[in-house]
Amino acid sequence: MAIREIIILPDKQLRLVSKPVEKVTAEIRRLAEDMLETMYDAPGIGLAAIQVAQPLRLITMDLAKRDENGETAPKPRVFINPEIVAKSEEMSVYEEGCLSIPEYYEEVERPARVRVRFTDLDGKVIEEDAEGLYATCIQHEIDHLNGVLFVDYLSKLKRDRVMKKFTKAAKRAGE
C-alpha cells in the first residue's frame, strides 16, 4: 500500500468525468488499498479515485464513529461504479469539506436519502439505502466521478471567491 498525492483545486483533472471500471482486478484492489491509506492519512471520510489522478469510477469511504475512548474501529468501504438510482424529495443540509479543497467548509443541501447501486471488491452488485452522513458523503463522492465539486452548489459569489483563493495559492506554490 502507498499514500498517493491528492490533487488540489484548481487542478483541471478534478473536472474530468471518470471512466467505468471494466473488471475488478488486482490493480483495482491495489488502487482501492492505496486510496484507503491516503484517505486515512489525510484524514478524510471519503475519497474518489480522480482525487489521486485516476479517472476511474471508484470511491473509498469510512464513516466509523469514535467510541467513548476516542478510538475508531475502521469500517472501510469500497464502491466500484457507484450510481444513485433513487433520491428522496426531502432535502438535508450538511457542512461539507473536501480533501481536494483543504480547510474550506460550507453548508450544502442535498437529498436526505438516496438508493445507491455499486459493485464491491468481490465483483458483487449491491443496492442499498443511504441517509444522514452516508447519503451526503456518497453523493459528494459520486459528484467527483462526474467532475462536480461541492463548491458548485454554492452561490456564484462564494464559488468565485474559493476558486480565486485556490488559484492564487497554486500560483504561489508554483513560483
β partners of residue 86: 115
119, 128 Cβ separation under 8 angstroms? no
- CA distances 26 to 3, 7, 44, Å, are 17, 24, 24
Which residues does the annotation mark as catalytic?
A: 141
Question: Which grid coordinates belong to 17?
Answer: 468525468
Question: Which grid coordinates belong to 125?
Answer: 452488485
Residue type, 98: C
Gap between the Cα atoms of 133 and 116, Å rounded: 14
Give how far the C-alpha of residue 146 lies from the chain's centroid of Cα atoms, to the nearest Å: 11
112, 135 Cβ separation under 8 angstroms? yes
